[in-house]
Amino acid sequence: MKLFGKLSDFILPKEVDFFGNLEAQCMVTQDVLKKFCGIYLGEDIKTSELTQAITNANELRKKNEAELNEVLITPVDKEAISRAYLNLDWIVLSIKHLNAEAGAYGVSSLQDYGVILGLLKEQMTRMTSCFLLLKEKKYSEVLGGVNDIILLDDEVISEYASCMAQLFNHDSVQHILRHRELLSQLKEVSKRVHFCVNSVEDIVFKMN
């Protein structure tokens, strides 16, 4: 039996829960955003917790991508799955860059942009749900979730425009320049979420 077990490792394809892995990756990405929002909305979250969340997301992505690279059989082409990981990673990178800019500018609060941060958190919550529904093969519900996230992105852009209009009324040019960059980075996070749900949509179309 032990010999058969060893032989089967070479002969039988390795079973991997690809969509479960994507859901787990989305959850750790969601945690990165949650930690970021906690810091800049005055919650009891330390910068070290955000750093650890980013490290967790990176380590899990490397593990999942290595596993994806090893297997021979996947439910859709490897490029489609890899693209989802890439887009989730871009969300983490965008948040990391945003945090770096805020620190460099000496900005410790983003309370004025609480609406945008709330919309970003809702986007990530719904995207995690989309990956779960993908795993459960509830494709029509996945597409409904994708559409909801795109509509949330529209709301982010609308709120971004409103915040920019208010920002230009400020007397300090330094304040305007700093916060314009931060607002642009917030919009970038939402854009990356939008790209990610497009990759989810692509997977659904290939599965049907």
List, for residues 1-22, the tens digit of each pLDDT value: 454 445 444 444 557 788 999 9
Residues contacting 51, CB < 8 A, separation 6+: none
Position with higher pLDDT, 171 vs 12:
171
Q: Please say whether the beta carbons of 163 and 113 come within 8 A.
A: yes
Query: Which residue in 65, 99, 109 sits closest to 84, CA to CA?
Result: 65
Q: Answer yes or no: are the C-beta atoms of 74 and 68 closer than 8 Å.
A: yes
Name the residue among 24, 8, 2 with its Cα closest to residue 132.
24
Q: Which residues contact 16 (CB under 8 A, 6 or more apart)?
A: 67, 68, 71, 74
d(CA 27, CA 80): 19
Q: pTM for this structure?
A: 0.90
Using one digit for the tens of pLDDT, what is the confidence trace for 116-170? 999 999 999 999 999 999 999 999 999 999 999 999 999 999 999 999 999 999 9
How many CB atoms are located within 10 Å of the residue 47 CB?
A: 12
Is the Cβ–Cβ distance between 189 and 93 less than 8 Å? Answer: no
Give tens-digit pLDDT for 20-29. 999 999 999 9
